[in-house]
Amino acid sequence: MSINSLSTSTVASTTATKARNGLQELGSDQFIALMVAQMRNQDPMKPTEPSEFLGQLAQFSTVSGVRAMQDSMTDMVTAMRSSQMLSGTSLVGRDVLAASRVINHDGVSAVSGAIEVPLGVSSATMMIKDSNGALVRRIPLSTQAGLNDFAWDGKNDAGAAVPPGRYSVEVDARSANRAESVSASTEIFHQE
């Protein structure tokens, strides 16, 4: 078999498949035309039951409804994606807080963020630990209820700079000698 005959048969097969797929797409005009032709050409001695026609109409309307719903869902997803992209552009050039208990310290820049402190806390301390879990720095925090800012200069308790790496953040908050759960958010900076 030569390459030319192979490519010709492939093209013919592809064209036949497209033609079959095109025939499978039945619009409302074609459907009505087929029903009218079916009614005109039915055997007068054995007419088709009206319930069969109604069943065919119901099937067609169901398929049409599902297609319309799929189109609507596709349009809605596209609109939501566009909306999310537009919303994201409003954050360009701004600082964003993202909930995290991990700090990626570059060894140079200070890290800032915020801690959500619950109402009634009498003392709060942020503890920064290295990747082995060893305590690197303890930073006292405000006990004011709500979002409170913090900053870590990248140094340990002795004042020495720590190497770059991943550090974890834990907060010990107490109210009437009872530990409270506090969430930490580190600040993500926009890079220019």
32: part of which helix (H) or strand (E)? helix 28-40
Instruction: Calculate the dihedral angle through the C-alpha atoms of 60, 63, 67, 68, rounding to the nearest 10 degrees.
Output: 60
Residues 149 and 134: their CA atoms lie apart, in Å, by 24
C-alpha pair distances (Å), 80 with each of 67, 75, 76, 89, 118: 20, 9, 6, 14, 34
pLDDT score of 17: 52
pLDDT score of 180: 66
Point out which residues pair with 97 in neighbouring strands: 187
77: part of which helix (H) or strand (E)? helix 50-89
Instruction: Quote the pTM value.
Output: 0.48
**Residue ranges in the chain modelled with pLDDT below 50:** 1-13, 15, 18-19, 22-23, 186-192
Give the Cβ contact number of residue 128 at 10 Å. Answer: 24
- The 3-state DSSP class for residue 113 equals strand
Which domains can be identified in the chain, with CATH numbers? 3-89 (no CATH), 96-188 (2.60.40.4070)
Q: State the Cα angle at 138 between 180 and 110, rounded to 5°.
A: 115
pLDDT score of 41: 79
Please state whether 85 falls in left (phi above 0), alpha (psi between -120 and 50) or beta. Answer: alpha
